Amino acid sequence: MSESPKAAKGDAATGKNFDGFSDDERAAMKEHAKELKKAARRSASEAKAREEGERDVREKIAEMPEADRVLAERLHEIIASVAPDLVPRTWYGMPAYAKDGKVLCFFQSAQKFKSRYATLGFSDVAALDDGTLWPTTYALTDLDAANEAVVSDLVKRAVG
């Protein structure tokens, strides 16, 4: 005899049920589903995909709170200048940059998951391997000249 589905276990201290994903995570997954549908309808032309991706990334950046928007705009400029072959696109509602159709790096606004700082992240596509342990996500609170140089170097290395 099969058991009937059990209700999600609650947190005894708060009395809240946990269903596996936060509201922010569910929203990000919904955005990703929309992105996949949009990508399926896009033109096969790389130039058109780049143009549409650029527009989508700029729209996401414009929605950000000012502090993150300033970081994202500058980061977008840096990535475009040091890795012009990367294609801008959105990924789970975040500005991202793809190589051969796969996300290589992305910017996560602090607001996205109510974090205390924004982050620059790299996927496993990025060629940042260094021994048996290396960072793939970087906290980003300011893009002064020194940090811009670090980001430029990371993106160049990530592209390979």
Higher pLDDT among residues 44 and 121, named by residue: 121
Please tell me the predicted confidence (pLDDT) of residue 16.
Answer: 63
The per-residue pLDDT of the chain, averaged, comes to 86
- Strand, coil or helix: what is 10? strand
**pLDDT above 90: residue 125:** yes
14: confidence class by pLDDT, cuts 50, 70, 90:
low
Please tell me the predicted confidence (pLDDT) of residue 40.
Answer: 61
- Mean pLDDT confidence for 104-120: 94
- Mean pLDDT confidence for 127-137: 95
17: confidence class by pLDDT, cuts 50, 70, 90:
low
Give the other-Cβ count within 10 Å of 157's Cβ: 14
**pLDDT above 50: residue 7:** no
CA dist 132 and 141 (Å) reads: 27
- Mean pLDDT confidence for 114-127: 96
